[in-house]
Amino acid sequence: MKNFILIGKNADNNLIISKKNISRKHAKISKIEDGQFLIEDFSTNGTYINEKRIKKFLLKKEDKLFLADYEIKTNFILELFSNDFFKKNKNVNYESLKKQIEFTEKFFLLKEVYEKYQNDKKKKLSGSAWKKTGFRAALALIPLVGNALGIMASGNNAKQREELMALNDQFKIDYVCPKCKMFLGDLPWQGIKNQKKCRACKTKWEL
């Protein structure tokens, strides 16, 4: 297992940052005992932790890390150590890695979007339809966004119908691929995650 990474402008670094103020060999992050990480600076323009210039420092995932004037996402980089990312990918461009990280972060936020939608839907449907059919039976009747409206319409008043429609419309706007914006369908987030990538634009959800 690789226990350190080199960061800098040169192509032989593990994390390559092609920016003006980054040195050819800028810094090194090493995994030392019991899950601690040491960062060492070799640069001209400096390495900054929480706005203080450092030479050697025990890095924590919540630290704000800047190489010269360039910010590095500490928590993600430290996590990449634990899944052997740098063993599988020896020389990675940080700019493209950052894009993937941001995409992955947005994708993980969709879990909440899905759960909130399900909860809101349950709340909205907790009126007359529940009393008639019972909680479980009613749930079984609404597996799909499209069907739900048709089935529930008979049992609900106009206001409830309108609220449900607004909820579904918003869900179709929010529950989309962070890149191509395709609606992911009324599938639980875990199921979407298991598909590994977006069916439309093929972007992978995770690294």
Query: Whole-number minimum distance, CB 167 to Zn ion, in Å?
Result: 23
Residue of the chain from 152, 177, 184, 192 that contacts Zn ion (CB under 5 A):
177
CB of residue 114 vs Zn ion: minimum separation in angstroms?
16
Site string for Zn ion, 74-113 (x = CB under 5 A): ----------------------------------------
What secondary structure does DSSP assign to 81-96, as a single string? HHTTHHHH-SSEEHHH
Question: If binding means CB under 5 A, how many residues of this protein chain bind Zn ion?
Answer: 6
Which is it for the CA torsion 151, 153, 154, 156, positive or negative?
A: positive
Nearest approach, Cβ of residue 181 and Zn ion (Å): 7
Residue 145 and residue 152 in contact, taking contact as beta carbons nearer than 8 Å:
no
The nearest distance, CB 177 to Zn ion, in angstroms, is 3
Query: Toward Zn ion, which CB reaches closer, 56 or 199?
Result: 199
The CA distance from 20 to 23, in Å, is: 8
Question: What is the C-alpha to C-alpha distance for residues 165 and 160, in angstroms, rounded to an integer?
Answer: 9
Is residue 176 within the footprint of Zn ion (CB under 5 A)?
Answer: no
Does residue 198 interact with Zn ion by CB under 5 A?
Answer: yes
Burial of 52 (0-12, 13-18, 19+ CB in 10 A): exposed
- Residues lying near Zn ion in the complex (CB under 5 A) are found at 177, 179-180, 198, 200-201
